[in-house]
Amino acid sequence: MTGAGDIGVWVMLCYRLPREPSTPRITVWRKLKRLGVAQLADGLVALPADARTREQLEWIAQEIIDAGGDASIWLAQPSTSEQERTVAARMADARTEEYVAVTAEAHAAATAPARERRRTGERLRAELRRITRRDYFPPPQRDTAQAAVRALLDTDPAGHPADATEEVRP
Amino acid sequence: MRWATRRGVHIDRAACAWLIRRFLDPDAQFVFVTDPAHTPPDATGFDMRGIDLSHHTGDDGTADCTFETILRRHDLTDPVLWKIAEIVHEADLDDERYDAPEAPGLDVVLRGLSMVCTDDQRVLELTGPLFDGLYEFHRRATLLGREPA
């Protein structure tokens, strides 16, 4: 969704949840984290607006209301492109950290035995998929992380087993 | 009977419309609204905020999508429908509550379809046979106890 000029439209969730019980607060916070929201203030989070992000925040708003809190959804445009860049950069930094962690784990597993390498590779591939889904401003570290995980799964010698017919070859 | 849901149908609403027409109301007519407040008085709403046939979160924080809510409200216990519910749940909520490897694929198919087809009635026409097929596949899989050919 794009608005006037080069500045995008954002969907914002403004909410307040009672301090107790703490379970709904924690559940909501985990869900927001999973979506990769930008936290603008206490009880105010934002995502670039599209059909999916809008719907996801709307369901969380409903959940907050069901848990006895207040929530409202707003569509908003940052008033300057500078402001938008600042928020986007902060979101990209958060994803960068996650990609760097995946890359480090992939490198650490590179010398592990084949089975462990494959297990780690598969786990990191799933983790990468989760990170990519909440990555709205992909940093270059994404490609590095993807390459590191791919290398982990590609170089698996189990993929090229010693063939019995080759072994008896004179 | 008339049923109302939000415009811009995605996986949960497409699956619910199929479920309603096939298992609850063969003559179902669907209307699409931009605002839940515009639901016609004679229509039953689904997958909109603030109504019963919608998402619900349990006390333990686990969420149901609308497809699951409709199954519960109408006592539909068919295990094949619950298998489809797992796929729809993961495609819609992606919270890893179920192991449904079909979900990311189905999600992309529906999102792509919504880009080339903005007429919601048409989306339902196109996705109906898709869910018929999904139902038949999992019906056979349930009977065989393995993936059908």
Q: What's the CA gap between B30 and B90, in Å, rounded? A: 24
CB burial of A51-86 (b: ≥16 within 10 Å; e: otherwise) equals: eebbbbbbbbbbbbbebebebebeeebbeeeeebee
* Nearest residue on chain A to B65, alpha-carbon basis: A59
Name which of B8, B61, B104 is nearest A51 (Cβ-Cβ): B8
Closest CA to A138 of A13, A55, A48: A48
CB-count burial class (<10 Å; 0-12, 13-18, 19+) for B133: exposed
Q: B54 phi and psi, to 5 degrees? A: -155, -165
For A:129-148, CB contacts with B below 8 A are: 129, 133
Return the pLDDT at A146: 96
pLDDT of residue A167: 41
At A66-80, the pLDDT tens digits run 889 999 999 999 999
CA dist., res. A133 & res. A54, Å (int): 15
Q: Is B72 on the interface with A (CB under 8 A)?
A: no
Q: ipTM score here?
A: 0.79
Instruction: Indicate which of A27, A35, A62 best probes the interface with B, i.e. most B CBs within 10 Å of its own CB.
Output: A62
Q: Where is pLDDT greater, at B58 or B123? A: B123
Nearest CA to A150 out of A87, A108, A103, A86 is that of A103
Residues of B in contact with A73 (CB under 8 A): none
**Using CA atoms, how far apart are residues B59 and B56, in angstroms rounded to an integer?**
10
Sheet holding B2-6, edge to edge: B29-33, B2-6, B43-45
User: Is pLDDT of A5 > 80?
Assistant: no
Could you list the beta-strand ranges (E) of chain B.
Answer: 2-6, 29-33, 43-45, 56-57, 63-64
pLDDT digit string (tens) for B45-76? Answer: 999 988 999 999 887 778 899 999 999 999 99
The pLDDT of residue A133 is above 70: yes
Among B residues 3-62, those touching chain A with beta carbons less than 8 Å apart = 8, 10, 49-50, 54-57, 59-61
Phi, psi for A76 (deg, rounded to 5): -145, 155
Q: Does B63 touch chain A (CB under 8 A)?
A: yes
| DSSP secondary structure string for all residues of A25-38 | HHHHHHHHHHHT-E
B115-127 CB burial, b ≥16 within 10 A, e <16:
eeeeebeebbeeb
